Structure 1
Amino acid sequence: MTPNSEPRQAHPAHSTATSDAVSRDAVGRDAVGRDAVGRDAVGRDAVGRDGLPLEDLGRLLLRIALGGVLFAHGLQKYQAMGVDQVGQFFTSLGIPAPAVAAAAVTVLELVGGVLIVLGVLVRPVAILAAVELLVAAFTAHAGAGFYADAGGWELPVLLAVSLLALAALGGGRFSAVAALTPKIPALLR
């Protein structure tokens, strides 16, 4: 701080002061139970200025990106390569039951990608897809090094870790089954 400058004021969103005419209890919660960043007592979604739940928006963006990538790779296996050719590739990698594995991976990526985008069965599908991508990273990509442009394991591991994060977070409220969410066990959301 220079001698002629005034002290910096904290941004209201980062301030712990209650001079904004909102009374807060001893733990900093307002009358509806939200803290200064909009989380309720159990830590649910921060809310932006327009009332949009930011965590659910983040989950939706993750679902669109990850589900879209899965679907595109499944479509590539089904249309461009063909499941038979994928099975032959799996044979060269030493994957057991390569024809069955090729069909299963193709269906997982096609159908699972759509389910993730829609927010249906996000956790189980994301976990299955993450396992599939980790297998791909260690079988098909490991010998090519790290970088994706050389066929390395960078992209499948990044996608797998992102899918595991999505599985931990769940699909969120912006989904095709949002109205049914209370009736669906948490592990299936």
Structure 2
Amino acid sequence: MVAECLGKIALIEPAKLVPALKVRTTSPAAFIQATVVIAVKYSIMERREKIDEISSFLMLIKDNDSHVRRAVVLALSTFEHNKPNLIKGLLPDLLPLIYDQTIVKQELIRTVDLELRKAAFECVDTLLDSCLDQVNPSSFIVPYLKSGLDDHYDVKMHCHLILSKLADKCPTAVLAGS
């Protein structure tokens, strides 16, 4: 709720408030970083013009905290659905980082890790709809999709949908990855 309000307030004076949010991306508190990312998500959805600093918010996907990474993945999914042109130029840098979120991290096995992996696979699924020309399916199928097919039931369901979509849109990549 706080993040949504911050995002809407940033619409009032974006030239002043977006840089103030950007400064908060370096906060040592993961809660503040996640809140800032979600605020930017809400702000961008209401704006007509592009935010030049978007990459600094999205690069928080490299953060150590899984809550921050999940906030970034969810923001990316929203942008893919609603404003895919906003992130297309960033995809070469972001795709490997998104794929990394699909990997089971033994030190993090708990609900948050599962939610992050599910969100990452949902993000990839959306990318296949909105930005397929930017995605190399072969580099995703092995090892990421293959690993997801052996994961928790909720993750498997997303992976089966992705596999079905890839079989329809990129059959040779699927056959090569089998």
Shorter-chain TM-score range:
under 0.3
TM-score (norm 2): 0.26
Bigger radius of gyration: 1
Greater fraction helix: 2
